[in-house]
Each structure stands twice: as C-alpha cells, then as structure tokens.
C-alpha cells in the first residue's frame, strides 16, 4: 500500500519547447508536486488517468507533504493511485479521466 500512496506526490506539468520549424509545442513532464509548487507551474494532470488535479503544499510543519488531489471525484474512483479505487469491491478497472487534460 505504501507504494500506491507515494504516487500522489508526483504529477505531470505542461511545458513548452521550440521545435525545428520554430513554433512552440507543448508536452507533459513528470515532476514532484513540491517542485511544481516552487516553480510556479500552472497546468497539471495525473500521469495515469490524465485527469485534472489540484496541488496542495505543506501548510503547517507537522502537516502532510505536498501532494495532489483529483478535481473530479469520478476521476478519483477510476484512478489506481487513489483510495476510492482501492476500496471498490465490484472489480473495476482503472481508466482515463472523464475529462482528460490534453
């Protein structure tokens, strides 16, 4: 279970790069949540379900480490990194977000 819980500490952030034709191309880069908060990134998603996530920093010293939560509960229910998926008893399969961030 610890390995599953550790997955909430990384997310994908949208980055841009210049390609050979001179235009910008966006891509997703895996990054620890604490680094994304420090760098001031603005667009995030979870790598497995591609769902939108909200980042939470450490607000108090004894509080949880910087992590994310899904913006939509439906995404959380079918994302293998989240507790709702692990608690399901009907044998659901992990899947992509209802509204993936592209």
Does residue 78 have a pLDDT over 80? no
CA distance 44 to 11: 7
- Residue 2 binned pLDDT confidence (cut-offs 50, 70, 90): very low
- Residue 25 binned pLDDT confidence (cut-offs 50, 70, 90): very high
Tell which wins on pLDDT, 39 or 5: 39
**Own/partner long-range contacts of 26-33 (Cβ < 8 Å, ≥24 apart):** 32/66, 33/8, 33/9, 33/66, 33/67, 33/68
Does residue 57 have a pLDDT over 50? yes
Question: Region 7-14: what's the mean pLDDT?
Answer: 91
pTM greater than the 0.85 cutoff: no
Question: Region 46-72: what's the mean pLDDT?
Answer: 88
From residue 80, give the alpha-carbon distance in Å to each of 29, 60, 87. 20, 28, 10
Q: Which of 30-34, 35-39, 41-45, 94-98 has the lowest mean pLDDT?
A: 94-98
Average confidence score pLDDT of the chain:
84
- Structure tokens belonging to residue 50: 């591609």
């Amino acid at each position: 279970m610890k390995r599953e819980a550790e997955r909430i500490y990384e997310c994908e952030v949208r980055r841009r790069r210049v390609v050979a034709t001179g235009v910008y191309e966006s891509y997703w880069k895996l990054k620890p949540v604490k680094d994304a908060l420090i760098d001031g990134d603005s667009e995030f998603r979870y790598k497995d379900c591609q769902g939108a996530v909200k980042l939470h920093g450490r607000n108090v010293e004894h509080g949880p480490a910087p992590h994310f939560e899904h913006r939509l509960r439906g995404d959380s229910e079918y994302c293998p990194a989240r507790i709702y998926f692990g608690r399901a008893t009907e044998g659901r399969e992990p899947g992509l977000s209802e509204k993936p961030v592209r």
